[in-house]
Amino acid sequence: MSGIGKGIATASIGRILKSKGFSVTAIKIDPYINVDAGTMNPTEHGEVFVLDDGYETDQDMGNYERFLDESLPSINYMTTGRVYQEVIRRERNLEYHGKNVEVVPDIPLEVIRRIKEAQKEAEVDITLVEIGGTIGEYQNIIFLEAARMLRQQCPDDVAVVMLSYVPIPNNIGEMKTKPTQYASRELNSVGLQADVILARASAPLDQKRKEKIATFCNIVPDHVISAPDVESIYDVPINFEKDGLGKILCGVLGLKDKPAHLQDWENFVAKVKNGNRKLNIAVVGKYFMSGDYVLSDVYISVIESLKHAAAANDVEVKLSYLDSEEYEKDASKLEELKQYNGIIVPGGFGSRGVEGIISAIKFVRENKIPYFGLCYGMQLMVVEYARNVAGIEDAHTAEIKPDAKNTVIDLMPEQKEKIAKGNYGGTMRLGSYPCKLKEGTIARESYGSSEINERHRHRYEVNPNSIGKLTQAGLKFSGVSPDDKLMEIAELPKKDHPFLLGTQFHPEFKSRPLNPHPLFVAFIKAVAKK
């Protein structure tokens, strides 16, 4: 079932095996027709996570990178669309030599080829493959068939882990294993037998339930692992290890077990929970609501980055989501921003709520509240500064007002050409790009190095024609591309503001629990001082 934590479970298994000294990589399979996650609406699918090589993927890739503390390549992400696209490309290219190309076995064979290629590229001992969706649904059947074929090819090298939801219905207050029993049978019906079952429930499993699941799902009770709700997602590897999951998997895979060194992870988790002060941070933007629910999934990497940086600073953060459209309706509401120790404006697209965001940035600049702008949050910080400090009254981003006289944020000439030809596809700057940092700036001081690489996902840039005026008015472009053409970081000097900094890139994609991002750490430090 979606949403019960397959991604975190996979990532946690990765952390455990890595802490035992194995090299590990992880692959995510999404059973959509979409070729990548780039075209999916965030309110429907959650965050689009961008890899170093620019591939737009599912947020679980972010979980893997965070738990494994490693950057993953695009071969580690596949969708139904991507797999079919490759098979059809090959067919058109006569690579099947006149044979009939069939859903089975050609599609599963391509899935297996990709799994093996990912394994080869990463040169690892263990490759984790997460199959999205629910057992029994139509969409993921070819991936399960791939798993079956792979296991048939190398029976001793494949372990099957099933994550199953074990409900405790309110009215009976008892844990029910029946759905797990049916799921296990569904899995059998596609020729697979689980070696391990992770039982996701609100509470830990008792021995009786373990035995029941074992009996009806055909495995030994020790291989039924309790996966109760936990306070922090980062607890999950520690919890799994309590049930000896790492050792069990080594046993199934015929690997010699080694002790797990989870101490650094445990120290981090302890810090996540025991921050000595709570700081209130507001995320200002749109995309927050779906019906009555706040969609924090859209900003998962930002949220996790804040947690990592908070732990590094021995504090805790409490996040609130503020809808910027409210400030457009009633400017007096901006006063609420004073209750917060810091403000973040994350990435975004389109015009909704933008004027409200610009008013919020003006407010925090004037009231010296720490501000961190990510991508759109940087662009709008530049627009605000242009309008209200540099005196460029009609300043705007071309994304919203393409015919404005002063588009301080605009497309670069090469992109304009492409768009004029109706070729929207290649107009985003995606993936990792180098950036030089200027001496004596917050950015340079935070990173402790003069050249960095960060991941991008945007179309617009600071307009080269506006740089002179903005700089004269006091805005500092502390990070620029190696050829000096693209402005990557904007900030105000410390003497003017405790922390007003925006990045054209998305630093949140590179923050890890054991390697918090330097700019998030610097932001939290400034927030803690406030």
Q: Does 286 bind ligand GLN (CB under 6 A)?
A: no
Q: Which token pair is 163?
A: 């994550």
> Residue 455 interacts with ligand GLN (CB under 6 A)?
no
Whose Cβ is closer to ligand GLN: residue 225's or residue 375's? 375
Catalytic residue among 130, 250, 508, 517: 508
Q: Is 217 a catalytic residue?
A: no
Least distance between ligand GLN and beta carbon 181 (Å): 45
- Residue 453: which H helix or E strand, with range? strand 451-458
Q: Which of 3-11, 199-207, 247-255, 451-459 is the region at the interface with ligand GLN (rule: CB under 6 A)?
A: 451-459
Nearer to ligand GLN, 19 or 379 (CB): 379
If DSSP states are collapsed to H, E and C, what string results for 308-335? HHHHHCCCEEEEEEEECHHHHHCHHHHH
Q: With CB under 6 A as the contact rule, which of the stretches 26-34, 180-188, 270-278, 346-354 interacts with ligand GLN?
A: 346-354
Question: Of 56-64, 141-149, 165-173, 344-352, which segment contacts ligand GLN by CB under 6 A?
Answer: 344-352
Q: 385, 460, 499, 523: which one contacts ligand GLN (CB under 6 A)? A: 460
Among 349, 438, 469, 494, binds ligand GLN (CB under 6 A): 349
Angle between helices 59-68 and 300-312 (to 10 degrees): 20
d(CA 188, CA 219): 12
Residue with smaller CB distance to ligand GLN, 348 or 516? 348
Distance of closest approach, residue 75 Cβ to ligand GLN, in angstroms: 24
Q: Is 67 in the site for ligand GLN (CB under 6 A)?
A: no
From the candidates 308, 456, 506, 517, give the one annotated as an active-site residue.
506
Q: Which residue is nearest to ligand GLN (CB)?
A: 347
Q: Which is nearer to ligand GLN, 68 or 354 (CB)?
A: 354
Question: In terms of CB distance, is 376 or 447 closer to ligand GLN?
Answer: 376
Closest approach of ligand GLN to the CB of residue 36, in Å: 15
Q: Which two tokens stand for residue 360?
A: 């919020």
∠ Cα 416 418 423 (to 5°): 130
375 binds ligand GLN (CB under 6 A): yes
Window contacting ligand GLN (CB under 6 A); options: 14-22, 302-310, 342-350, 483-491: 342-350
Question: Taking CB under 6 A as the rule, does residue 376 contact ligand GLN?
Answer: yes
Residue 250 a catalytic site member = no
The backbone torsions φ and ψ at residue 228, rounded to the nearest 5 degrees and listed phi first, read -75, 165
Considering the complex, state which of residue 236 and residue 283 has its C-beta at the smaller distance from ligand GLN. 283
- In the set 56, 375, 435, 461, the catalytic residue is 375
**Binding of ligand GLN by 459 (CB under 6 A):** yes
Q: How far apart are CA 383 and CA 362, in angstroms?
A: 10
Which strands form 161-165's sheet, in the order they lie side by side?
Answer: 161-165, 196-201, 224-228
Closest CA to 427 of 418, 440, 435: 418
Q: Which is nearer to ligand GLN, 14 or 42 (CB)?
A: 42
Give strand ranges (E) for 113-160.
Answer: 126-131
What would the DSSP string read from start to end of 162-179? Answer: EEEE----TTT-S---HH
| Residue 77: strand, helix, or coil | strand
**What CA–CA distance (Å, rounded) separates 122 from 516?**
23
- Yes or no: say if 181 and 217 are a contact pair by the CB < 8 Å rule: yes
Name beta bridge partners: 8: none
- How far is Cα 461 from Cα 467, in angstroms, rounded to an integer? 11
Q: Identify which of 484, 430, 488 has the alpha carbon closest to the alpha carbon of residue 456.
A: 430
Joined together, the tokens standing for residue 303 give 């949220």
Position among 237, 348, 507, 513 found at the interface with ligand GLN (CB under 6 A): 348
User: Given candidates 30, 243, 304, 399, which one binds ligand GLN under the rule CB under 6 A?
Assistant: 399
Strand partners for 451? 436
458 near ligand GLN, judged by CB under 6 A = yes
Nearer to ligand GLN, 126 or 358 (CB): 358
Question: Total residues at the site for ligand GLN (CB under 6 A)?
Answer: 11
Q: Using an 8 Å Cβ cutoff, are 466 and 406 in contact?
A: yes
Radius of gyration over every alpha carbon of the chain, rounded to an integer in angstroms: 25
Please give the residue ranges that form the binding site for ligand GLN (CB under 6 A).
Answer: 347-349, 375-376, 379, 399, 457-460
Active-site positions read 375, 506, 508
